[in-house]
Structure 1
């Protein structure tokens, strides 16, 4: 068993790419992969421009020129295709991912839910279909598709349930100086970027004692 903690945000395309690479690295080692998904917020105070496309925000708020963003977007799309992902990153909409993290925490402790599939489904909604994940109705429909019950979904979206679990992950990220995602942490404390090449992830897992 490969046992890892991974800090990630569903708004981060590299986090989805990294998830695919972690799975491939585990396959190379011939071991099952167990990932504890830890919440991270790219914008802890919420997005400055909710509902705007990533391409628009990149050139209006992040200080990138159109050419610089196109280069970044092209690289993300190329790396995504290598992992079987057809990313529509330009049209991905800004949203506060905190409610989604609460839903994902709920999925992780619900026996009949595949939490990894829920993360994949969220990434796909954001980066392939460019759904409005800042819309409560969209979130309800998405979480229902995972198999969660309506009352559970509403409890998590209301902000009480699983808020502390998300906050705990954010405090742990600060304590460990996790400043970018995806960040992978092994049982011995060593870490690596989850966006690293598969070969590097294989070496990391083997050397850091992640295989038990």
Structure 2
């Protein structure tokens, strides 16, 4: 089995696109590829303007003109469609992603949950349906759709569990000089952007080597 790590943030549209592209690369190989999902926080302490639409923040805080933002948003939508995802970037709400990352760690630790599907549904909720993943009730609904609920869910929401794992991923990213996502890392330390062309991703996975 080939093993790689992939750092991503649910708030990053390129990470959803990269995850889908990586799935295609995995499918092109005869060997099974295990991807360990790693948390990367674009804003480790949370956004300056939680609850505000990305389009508004881009123009009011990032200094982009309406034309610049529309060009960027249109490009991301186009690349997303090529990978089979519809991204409504304009209406995506800014939120603190620490809690959703804790829930995704809980999902990964739950044998009955497909971690890849959980990540995909989190991206779809944020970018496809523009759900506010900063709201606890929305997160509960999402986790319940993965068949994750009960005390474990509440502990993860509150930060009583999986907080250290999320912090550990962030520290590992810093140690490996990962400054942007999506980034994929092989066992030997080689790195590649998750947005690399499909053939480059496939070659990277093929050369990553088998892990136990």
Please indicate, yes or no, whether the TM-score normalized by the shorter chain is above 0.5. yes
**Partners of 1:145 and 1:135 in 2: how far apart?**
16
**Partners of 2:143 and 2:151 in 1: how far apart?**
11
8 Å contact from structure 1 (residues 23, 33) kept in 2 = no
8 Å contact from structure 2 (residues 3, 208) kept in 1 = no
Please report how far the alpha carbon of residue 7 of structure 1 lies from its aligned counterpart in structure 2 after TM superposition: 0.5
Please report how far the alpha carbon of residue 20 of structure 1 lies from its aligned counterpart in structure 2 after TM superposition: 0.7
Please report how far the alpha carbon of residue 67 of structure 1 lies from its aligned counterpart in structure 2 after TM superposition: 1.1
Partner in structure 1 of residue 109 of structure 2: 109
**Partners of 1:16 and 1:107 in 2: how far apart?**
18
TM-score by length of 2: 0.96
1:102-139 residue CA offsets vs partner (Å, 9 max, x unmatched): 00001001111111111011000000000011100111
**Partners of 1:114 and 1:211 in 2: how far apart?**
21
Partner in structure 2 of residue 16 of structure 1: 16
1:73-127 residue CA offsets vs partner (Å, 9 max, x unmatched): 1111011100111111111000000000000001001111111111011000000
Partner in structure 2 of residue 161 of structure 1: 161
8 Å contact from structure 2 (residues 53, 93) kept in 1 = yes
Partner in structure 2 of residue 138 of structure 1: 138
8 Å contact from structure 1 (residues 186, 210) kept in 2 = no
Please report how far the alpha carbon of residue 31 of structure 1 lies from its aligned counterpart in structure 2 after TM superposition: 2.8
8 Å contact from structure 1 (residues 4, 35) kept in 2 = yes
Q: Which moved more, 1:32-41 or 1:94-103?
A: 32-41
Partner in structure 1 of residue 72 of structure 2: 72
Partner in structure 2 of residue 185 of structure 1: 185
Partner in structure 2 of residue 86 of structure 1: 86
1:149-174 residue CA offsets vs partner (Å, 9 max, x unmatched): 22111010111100110111011111
**Partners of 2:70 and 2:151 in 1: how far apart?**
42
Partner in structure 2 of residue 172 of structure 1: 172
Root-mean-square deviation (CA), in Å?
1.3
**Partners of 1:149 and 1:211 in 2: how far apart?**
32
1:13-54 residue CA offsets vs partner (Å, 9 max, x unmatched): 111100111111111223322111111001111101101111
Please report how far the alpha carbon of residue 210 of structure 1 lies from its aligned counterpart in structure 2 after TM superposition: 6.0
Q: Secondary structure at the match of 2:6?
A: strand
Q: Secondary structure at the match of 2:3?
A: strand
Q: Which moved more, 1:63-72 or 1:98-107?
A: 63-72
5+ residue gaps in structure 2? Answer: none
**Partners of 2:124 and 2:32 in 1: how far apart?**
23
Does the alignment pair 1:206 with 2:206? yes
Partner in structure 2 of residue 123 of structure 1: 123
5+ residue gaps in structure 1? Answer: none
